[in-house]
A and B are shown apart, each in its own frame.
Chain A
Amino acid sequence: MAAIKPSISVEYAGNATILSFTDEKILEEKDIKALQESIMSVIEQAERVNLILDFGNVRFLSSAVLGLLIRISKRIYERDGQLRLCNINPKIYEIFKITRLTKTFDIYNDVEEASEGLSQPN
C-alpha cells in the first residue's frame, strides 16, 4: 500500500480527539493542503470536537503550516469546539513566539496536560 504523505494518526481518548503529525517536516504546499483536508474531515465528523494536535514528531515547519492552524482553529471555534496544541519542540515553539501565536493558541507540554479539563463534546 502506498504511503500517504504527510501522515497523521488519530486517536480518541476521553473527551478529546488526539491528532498526531507523524512526519518530521511539514513543508510542501500539496502536503499542507492534504493535511488540511484530513483534519477538516475529522473536525466535521462530530458536531463539536475537542481537538488536540500533537507536534511531538515535528522538527520543522514553515509559516504555511501556521496558516493551516489558523484555518483549523477558526473552523473549530465556529463549531463551538476547542483546539489545543502540545509537544512542540523548542525550535518550533520559537516560531510561535516570534509570530505571537502563543497568544492565539492554547499550548500545553504534553497530551496528558492538554487533555485536562476538556468539556464533553457532542
Chain B
Amino acid sequence: MTSKAPINCSIVVDSKPSAVVEVYKQILPKLEENNFAKDDIFAVHLTLEEAFLNAVKHGNKMDPAKKVKIDYSIESDKVAISITDEGTGFEPESVADPRFGEGLYEPGGRGLLLMNSYMDVVKYNENGNTVYMVRYKEKPHLTEKQSQTQFSSEAGPCQQNQ
C-alpha cells in the first residue's frame, strides 16, 4: 500500500537501540513512495540512527522503562522528524566539536555533527529533550518562518509497514 504526501504520524517505541529499525522501516519506504532521492533517504536514515541512539543512550540513559516518541511529517517537498526522549535534556552548545583538537581522536561525539550536516534544519526544544529536523528535496533559502514549521496537531498513530 502506498502512502502519498502529506503524511503526519506519531509513533512511540521502546527505548532500546534496536528499536530504531521499527522507526526507519516505517519512514524510509514512505520517502521512496514520495519520490525522495537516494541521497535524501541516506541522509534521513543516518540522521535517524544518530538521533535515536542519542535519545536512548544520553536522553533516557538506557532505561528500558522509558520510551522514545517520533513524530514525522512527509510533504511533497520535505520531510520533518521530531524525536523526543524522557530525559532531562541537554544543551547542544555544550557539546565539543569533534573535528578539532582531541575530539578528532575520541571514539564518540560525532552524532550531532552528522545530524547537522545531513539535515537542513536541526532545532531543539527549550528542555533539550526533543530534536526537530527537516530535510528538503531541494534546498530553499530558509527563512525563519519556514524553519519554524511544526507538526499538525492531527498527527495520528501509525502502524508498522503501512
Contact = CB atoms under 8 A, between A and B. Distances in A.
Contacts of A64: 53
Contacts of B98: 99
Interface string B87-112: 00000000000111000111110110
Interface residues of A, number: 21
Q: Is the interface of B mostly helix, strand, loop or mixed?
A: helix
B18 interface: yes
B71 to A, nearest CB: 22
Contacts of B50: 62-63
Interface of B: 17-18, 39, 42, 45-46, 49-50, 53, 98-100, 104-108, 110-111, 113-114, 117
A14 B42 CA distance: 37
Contacts of A29: 17-18, 53
Interface of A: 27-29, 60, 62-64, 66-68, 70-71, 74, 91, 95, 98-101, 103-104
A28 B53 CA distance: 10
Contacts of A67: 107-108, 110
